[in-house]
């Protein structure tokens, strides 16, 4: 079965529309998606950025918010810009890492909806607890999220992302390590996965 | 008639596929395209960049060349990476500015083909002379390119680009000043121009 790794960062704006649509698009093409939460912070830091490039470069930032708004409107996706950006995504990344399979995908979509459809703060432990409960997932995932095993797994994901040449999110990586960056490359990435399977 | 301004920089890689396809796509939708050559150098300098971001950030650069190669392969466009990047695009921008209408569009496409299909150096005066001759355009455009009027017009274009919020190329600007960035936004920009006309 063709496979595509979906690399996402919970603070990343364009990861929101990608997370919402990747399941349906992949299923229609018979592609198995592996959800790979990671952190862009350490990768940006390697480039000398201590903030989001959308904040460092205001013209780029203004454009991104407008572009995201248009994309969401086109796709009938609710959108609400959170008060603060970028958000601290460490807790959400750890909880997603503590989950697996469909539970991870469901939780990840719920985090993006809370953040970019409702404008909520995803570093709020109570919010994360509620999202897990709403999905019928064990609250215990939150405890496991702070375990050494999960912390190590998140660090390993960041290292793997660097090795794959990932520099932004969302990114898509096919089984042959071919890299695609950006929500607008999702269709091409899926085609690549199917053609090379 | 719907209108779309096409803002391009001759050193910009993604402007190549956009320049080649915009005419056909726009004609099919009944959109009038205004070709707007400009320079990104002064805009990048305002952001603290003295080089292309694709050189400053190597992972991003490696990805861009691969992505461009895939795009060209998909569209049956010849592609050859020039030895040096980014190229000095001042001469080409001035000559394009000295031309108008279809002559400007034809010349601009020819420059992109020389640069990214043949890997040639577009700051070479002899190359620019040959491109003009091949298109049956007056060699005198090259003299006009160094006139004060043209130099002032190029500077005015850069200032206008800044005012429009342009931070990269290719960019597309609709009559209502709605901005779209990137070859992958061309279809959406054309739709916007048609819907708002």
Question: Rounded to whole angstroms, how far apart are CA atoms B102 and B107?
Answer: 8
How many Cα atoms within 13 Å fall on the side-chain side of residue A14?
A: 20
Report the relative pairing of strands B171-174 and B3-8 from DSSP bridges: antiparallel
pTM assigned to the model: 0.96
Q: Indicate whether B197 pLDDT > 90.
A: no
**Cα–Cα distance measured from residue B197 to residue B186, given in angstroms and rounded to the nearest whole number:** 16
Residue A63 φ then ψ, to 5°: -60, -45
Q: Please report how the helices A90-98 and A125-134 are oriented relative to each other, as an axis angle in degrees rounded to 10.
A: 30
Please compute the mean of the pLDDT values over residues A154-167 and round it to a whole number. Answer: 98
Using an 8 Å CB-CB cutoff, list chain B residues near A182: 184
Q: Which residue of A has its CA nearest to B184?
A: A184
Q: Do B63 and A181 touch (CB under 8 A)?
A: yes
Nearest to A8 by CA among A132, A177, A157, A197: A157
Please write the tens of the pLDDT for every residue from B48-105.
899 999 999 999 999 999 999 999 999 999 999 999 999 999 999 999 999 999 999 9
Question: Residue B112: its pLDDT value, please?
Answer: 98
Query: For residue range A96-141, what is the model confidence (pLDDT) as tens digits?
Result: 999 999 999 999 999 999 999 999 999 999 999 999 999 999 999 9
| Residue A135, SS3 per DSSP | coil
Helix (H) or strand (E) holding B4: strand B3-8
CATH number of B3-196: 3.40.30.10
The answer to whether A70 contacts B188, with C-beta atoms less than 8 Å apart, is yes
User: How far apart, in whole angstroms, are the C-alpha atoms of residue A113 and residue A115?
Assistant: 5
Cross-chain residue pair A60–B167, CB shorter than 8 Å? yes
Residues of A with CB under 8 A from a CB of B: 47, 57, 59-60, 62-63, 66-67, 70, 74, 165-168, 179-182, 184-185, 188
User: Which whole-number Å values give the CA distances from B57 to A166, B60, B61, B174, B182, in the listed order?
Assistant: 12, 5, 6, 31, 18
pLDDT score at A197:
87
Query: CA A155: distance to chain centroid?
Result: 16
- pLDDT bracket for residue B10 (50, 70, 90): very high
Tally the C-alpha atoms within 13 A of residue B144's C-alpha that lie toward its C-beta.
Answer: 16
Cβ contacts below 8 Å, chain A against chain B, sum to: 41
* pLDDT mean over B167-177: 98
CB A184 within 8 A of CB A19: no
- Closest-CA distance, A167 to chain B, in angstroms, reads 6
B114/chain A closest Cα distance in angstroms: 27
Question: Do B181 and A63 make contact, defined as CB atoms within 8 angstroms?
Answer: yes
The answer to whether the CB atoms of A63 and B179 lie below 8 A apart is: yes
Residues A57-66 pLDDT 10s = 999 999 999 9
DSSP A23: H
Task: Look up the ipTM and state it.
Answer: 0.95
pLDDT digits (tens, 9 = 90+) for B22-50: 999 999 999 999 999 999 999 999 988 99
């Amino acid at each position: 079965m063709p496979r595509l790794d979906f690399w996402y960062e919970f603070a990343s704006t364009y990861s929101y529309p990608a997370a919402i649509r990747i399941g349906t698009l992949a299923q229609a093409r018979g592609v198995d998606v592996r959800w790979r939460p990671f952190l862009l912070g350490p990768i940006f830091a390697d480039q000398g950025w201590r903030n989001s490039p959308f904040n460092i470069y205001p013209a780029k930032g203004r454009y991104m918010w407008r572009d995201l708004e248009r994309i969401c409107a086109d796709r009938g996706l609710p959108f609400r810009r959170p008060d603060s950006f970028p958000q601290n995504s460490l807790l959400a990344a750890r909880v997603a890492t503590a989950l697996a399979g469909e539970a991870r995908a469901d939780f990840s979509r719920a985090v993006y909806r809370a953040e970019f459809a409702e404008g909520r703060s995803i570093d709020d432990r109570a919010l994360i607890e509620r999202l897990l409960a709403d999905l019928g997932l064990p609250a215990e995932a939150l405890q496991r999220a702070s375990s050494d095993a999960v912390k190590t797994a998140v660090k390993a994901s960041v290292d793997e992302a660097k090795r794959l040449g990932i520099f932004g999110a969302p990114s898509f990586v096919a089984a042959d390590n071919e890299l695609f960056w950006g929500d607008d490359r999702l269709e091409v990435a899926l085609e690549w996965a199917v053609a090379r399977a």
